[in-house]
Chains A and B, each alone.
Chain A
């Protein structure tokens, strides 16, 4: 990456959607990510699995700059995240610029994090109106379409407290999609759900994957990973232990730690 153009030059079609090069992250003396290098192609679905505390979620949060890297480089769609590069130097981005980058990266949280004082529809409409400044009527139509797409057309005027966990998470997905992101990050989207509600959320995500969305999913749902993911990454202790085709990794793990982990969750 030697072009010094600061504006997001038209991304090359062959550039990976996400490129992480020796990404490290420490909280104080605690090194959570140790030199992670990963590549996610356009339209690819990557599942991140591993025991808790392995750094999966931290890595995900680094991608949209909710966490700041300690070392390494991370770019999305050919654009460096959180920094501008000019004349061979890195400049920290102003909050406004960082916010602009986040617009194109959708994120779905384990605990949904819907805005409780807004209805499902208002939750979906908020960002397109406030951030993109789109006209309200147009946004509302798009928001209703999105809610219909996640199967919640009749729940548009309900407050999150009156929706089940699965419904809330589907609203959260619709809220992220409303910004028309080019990349979706899922941080254990089904871990806070009752077992019987997991399926409805995974179904929405499968549909999304089929539509060609680039997705990075931190999950414990191995069935979903095997069915939907193009690649599977097993992380432990802040490093990538094993990565590759989900079927191969799941059925024939090479590394001892992967074998030990899979024997417990499969």
Chain B
């Protein structure tokens, strides 16, 4: 808007005469011949590998088909899923508590959380799981009561904790250390002004946390947590150290020990792991969408409404095609201004 226009026609009297429509740019599109060459090359190599794999006898595809839905395998897959879900739920709850403890003004509470992290993040999970398996050698009974007094309740460790429980405890306590750092990062990512605004309204610390800070930090917490869930799904294959042997990987190793044909069973296990990871990725996508309320404009999936999972929203270049156009509908912002 020029100054002449502003000082001229008094405001709101006559609408300004529209400018002539701008001329669209007509230009020869820049060619990328090497892109096409590399793309063809990669596709050719990929197809060759696939065809080769399909006819290679060592993969033994008929056996893969035979064992994929074997009862023992599908049950083991369910156990793997149970291990993942239970230990993640415990790890997330514990992680939130540890994160809040690390941000506490109380130096003792802070140090305890730091010590926990130091121990559980600093030792291999395989070692931790092995130790949990030997816990009954270290603590033969679990007593609940006042120290140095007759306990109220007493369990024999061996009887009270089976290997499934110990596997979950081992996985959860290890994971909690990582979750604590993820949650802490999320809490710190929320603007300090949010805390002040809630405080100024008379909200308590707990209300500020649960109503204002945590919901906003979820946006930061969820993507790496999805990562951790997927990682946990695969880490369950280590619980053989406890030793717990009814999950997917150990079960398929056991079967192949009888058939002397390990490769197809490894493929079967991998296919099940992939199946679960794919489902988890879809779930993560919807969770991210839920917690992006109010700040959703920066979400990648908005650009490409067709995409299903968060991980596959990238645009694949196709040989010879025009660069994929990403157009945001003008009505995307309900405010219609700013």
Cβ of B212: which chain A residues have Cβ within 8 Å of it? 115
Residue A160 interfacial (CB < 8 Å): yes
Contact of B202 among A102, A116, A117, A163 (CB under 8 A): A102
Given contacts A116-B294, A161-B295, contact A130 B335 (CB under 8 A): no
Structural contact, B202 and A158, CB atoms closer than 8 A: no
Structural contact, A179 and B202, CB atoms closer than 8 A: yes
Q: How far is the CA of A41 from the CA of B297 in the complex (A)?
A: 46
Q: Which of B135-143, B145-153, B193-201 lies at the binding interface?
A: B193-201
Q: How far is the CA of A105 from the CA of B216 in the complex (A)?
A: 25
Given contacts A113-B193, A162-B338, A163-B335, contact A99 B294 (CB under 8 A): no
Instruction: Sort chain A's interface into a size bin.
Output: 35 or more
Chain B, residue nearest A126 (CB)? B211
Residue A66 interfacial (CB < 8 Å): yes
Given contacts A109-B197, A117-B216, A159-B293, contact A164 B202 (CB under 8 A): no
Residue among B193, B204, B211, B294 having the largest count of chain A Cβ atoms under 10 Å: B294
Structural contact, A107 and B200, CB atoms closer than 8 A: yes
Given contacts A115-B197, A126-B211, A160-B294, contact A99 B337 (CB under 8 A): no
Q: How far is the CA of A107 from the CA of B201 in the complex (A)?
A: 8
Structural contact, A126 and B201, CB atoms closer than 8 A: yes
Q: How far is the CA of A127 from the CA of B295 in the complex (A)?
A: 22
Structural contact, B201 and A116, CB atoms closer than 8 A: no
Residue among B197, B211, B293 having the largest count of chain A Cβ atoms under 10 Å: B197
Structural contact, A113 and B294, CB atoms closer than 8 A: no
Structural contact, A102 and B199, CB atoms closer than 8 A: yes
Chain A, residue nearest B190 (CB)? A116
Contact with B along A62-97 (1 / 0, CB 8 A): 001010000000000000000000000000000110
Residue A222 interfacial (CB < 8 Å): no
Chain A, residue nearest B333 (CB)? A162
Instruction: Sort chain B's interface into a size bin.
Output: 20 to 34
A10-66 residues with Cβ-Cβ distance < 8 A to B are 64, 66
Cβ of B196: which chain A residues have Cβ within 8 Å of it? 66, 109, 113
Q: How far is the CA of A111 from the CA of B200 in the complex (A)?
A: 14
Structural contact, B201 and A131, CB atoms closer than 8 A: yes
Cβ of A115: which chain B residues have Cβ within 8 Å of it? 194, 197-198, 212, 216
Residue B33 interfacial (CB < 8 Å): no
Shortest distance between the CB of B94 and any CB in chain A (Å): 25
Residue B334 interfacial (CB < 8 Å): yes
Cβ of A99: which chain B residues have Cβ within 8 Å of it? 199, 202-204
Contact with A along B211-232 (1 / 0, CB 8 A): 1100110000000000000000
Residue B118 interfacial (CB < 8 Å): no
Structural contact, B201 and A127, CB atoms closer than 8 A: yes
Number of cross-chain contacts by CB at 8 Å: 87
Contact with B along A105-129 (1 / 0, CB 8 A): 1110101011111110000001100
Residue B46 interfacial (CB < 8 Å): no
Residue B115 interfacial (CB < 8 Å): no
Residue B63 interfacial (CB < 8 Å): no
Cβ of B291: which chain A residues have Cβ within 8 Å of it? 117
Cβ of B199: which chain A residues have Cβ within 8 Å of it? 66, 99, 102
Residue A103 interfacial (CB < 8 Å): yes
Contact of B335 among A131, A162, A175 (CB under 8 A): A162
Structural contact, A158 and B200, CB atoms closer than 8 A: no
Residue B278 interfacial (CB < 8 Å): no
Q: How far is the CA of A163 from the CA of B205 in the complex (A)?
A: 28
B279-338 residues with Cβ-Cβ distance < 8 A to A are 291, 293-295, 297, 333-335, 337-338
Residue A100 interfacial (CB < 8 Å): yes
Structural contact, A131 and B203, CB atoms closer than 8 A: yes
Shortest distance between the CB of A236 and any CB in chain B (Å): 25
Interchain residue pairs with CB less than 8 A apart (26): A66-B200, A95-B204, A99-B202, A99-B203, A100-B202, A103-B201, A106-B200, A107-B200, A109-B193, A113-B193, A115-B212, A116-B216, A117-B216, A117-B291, A126-B201, A126-B211, A130-B207, A131-B203, A161-B294, A161-B297, A162-B333, A162-B334, A163-B338, A172-B197, A176-B200, A176-B201
A residues contacting B by CB (< 8 A) are 64, 66, 95-96, 99-100, 102-103, 105-107, 109, 111, 113-119, 126-127, 130-131, 158-164, 172, 175-176, 179
Identify the 3 closest CB pairs spanning chains A and B, nearest first.
Answer: A162-B335, A103-B202, A159-B294
